[in-house]
Amino acid sequence: MVGITSYGGYIPRLRLNRGAIYGANAWMAPGLIGSAGGERSMANWDEDSLTMAVEAARDCIAGFDKTKIDAAYLASLNLPFEDRQNCGIMAAALNLEENVESADFTASNRAGLSAVISGINAVKTGDYRNALIAAGDRRITKMAYLHELWAGDGAASLLIGSENVIAEFKGACSITDDFVDHFRGHGQQFDYNWEERWIKDEGITKLVPKAIKGVLNKTGVEGKEIARFVMPCVFGRVPAQIAGGFDIAPEKVSDNMHMVCGDTASAHPLVMLVSALETAAPGDKILVTAFGQGAVAILFEVTENITKLSKRNGISGSLADKKEEMNYIKFLSHRGMLNQDWMMRAEGNYKTALTTLYRNRKMILGMVGGKCTKCGTAQYPKAEICVNPECGEIGTQEDCEFADQPGTIKTYTSDLLTYTLDPPAHYGMITFENEGRSMFDFTDYEQGKIEVGLPVKMVFRIRNFDNPRGFTQYYWKAKPVISKEEA
């Protein structure tokens, strides 16, 4: 049996009220009011498609033996590097084994499900034991454009294997057709979208049913047996319309999450699938589809093992941890859409020494420190000499992962002079549960609610942008854990 063995999800904490977008643009685009309800997820300035995918993958593989993951695939329409394997950065951040197979999937809204199919096929061959799939997207759209309201930022992850399967793979069907609903040419910042009625009538409603029919024919399953129909679509009524053509009841159609998140592009089929798995019961048949230069449909059947899977934060947990944002200018600034004067303090040279990055890749990307094999003292970063003054042994350090270590704030500074895209900058000393400690920047904080002793979670984020060379620098930051009562 091959199928899904675990899942994870990530939606950024910030949620931009769509009324703020409409309010700023109503003077020239009053028609936006039709899509101005609810809120869309908003990545912080230091989040992108890659960092969100890493967070979803961390949620997915929590408690799993990472040495058994031998394939990793990353899907996104907005990868930070055009000529550098982005999945390799994700593998380093997760501290996966060096011999892991890795690949990027992109250039289509169905890239996320294409990566899932590749992971399934990899495990089915027997050449790989466990394939990790993560998809994340943060799209940049023109201001005052419908897609600015429809889109959302987020990520999801699945682990594919043959042991302890929680959702068995039953079959898939892919349709490849160069139907161009939108495109982004080389060097272009924004997608160019075609007329909506054409996309709906000639694209979605003709190609998606072909994929659904194909997988149902392959598996011998009838539409009325489907417990959950997952179909990302910004046209709210279309999924139910297509489902009805296969005798899938309207109540079986999953919500497209427009009001709470928005469409997360290539990640959205996985985001909606993870959301469905969170409430699924053994025996449920879940049909998930995606449209994009054709269509793909995959059928899963939930097993008894889903009741044994340890709790994940998932999509529901991410949605619950939110902070409303009403500042549209901040949203645009975080996406690099404004030419603001950050003064001379922003004129630093952030050139990356690639030799140094490579030599320290485990420490910088994987947050791997050291632990003395003689006295047991943990330290970050790792060094040749044990920091314990009562030990001081040389060459006794073994790798020690810090990314998942709970931590607390020992000291902190709130700084209005240091350059940051979200002032004031917050940074300080973090003490970990294993007694290691180090200095880190903070992120997703709330000014005035930082205090000594506050628990933190370490998250993988953007550290700096080397804009002249187009290089994004990644590192780990401390995210204060603030309860709903304190928020």
pLDDT digits (tens, 9 = 90+) for 112-133: 999 999 999 999 999 999 999 9
User: Does residue 20 contact residue 326 with C-beta atoms inside 8 Å?
Assistant: yes
Give the max Cα distance, the chain: 74
Strands 101-105 and 437-441: unpaired
| CA 57 distance to own-chain centroid | 8
Strand partners for 336: none
Domain(s) labelled CATH 3.40.47.10 in the chain stretch across: 3-334
C-alpha torsion 175→181→185→189, nearest 10: -130
Q: Report DSSP state, residue 311.
A: P
The answer to whether 262 and 151 have CB atoms below 8 angstroms apart is yes
Written as six digits, the tokens of 352 are: 């990356």
Query: Using only C-alpha atoms, what is the Rg of the chain?
Result: 23
> Which of 168, 179, 247, 171 is closest to 208 using CA atoms?
179
User: Within 10 A of 349 (CB to CB), how many other CB atoms are there?
Assistant: 6
**Full-model pTM:** 0.97
The answer to whether 480 touches 407, Cβ cutoff 8 Å, is: no
Integer CA distances (angstroms), 180 to 16, 51, 192, 199, 416, in order: 29, 29, 10, 8, 47
Query: CATH 2.40.50 residue ranges in the chain?
Result: 353-367+402-480
Class of domain 353-367+402-480: mainly beta
Contact predicate 411/425, CB 8 Å: no
What pLDDT score was predicted for residue 136? 98
| Sequence-ordered list of residues with C-beta below 8 angstroms from that of 285, at least 6 positions apart, any chain | 170, 221, 225, 226, 227, 228, 299, 300, 301, 302
Superfamily of domain 3-334: Thiolase/Chalcone synthase (3.40.47.10)
Q: Which residues of the chain have pLDDT under 70?
A: 483-487
pLDDT of residue 487: 40
User: What is the C-alpha to C-alpha distance for residues 148 and 266, in angstroms, rounded to an integer?
Assistant: 16
Give the pLDDT score at 486: 38
C-alpha pair distances (Å), 327 with each of 16, 131, 147, 260, 334:
8, 40, 18, 17, 11
Distances (CA, A) of 481 to 59, 61, 164: 16, 21, 32
Q: Give the pLDDT confidence score for residue 200 in this predicted structure.
A: 96
Q: What does the alpha-carbon distance between residue 113 and residue 156 come to, in Å, rounded to a whole number?
A: 11
Other Cβ atoms within 10 Å of 384 Cβ, number = 10
Q: Which residues pair with 71 in a beta bridge?
A: 101, 131
Angle at 171 between CA 129 and CA 295, to 5 degrees: 110
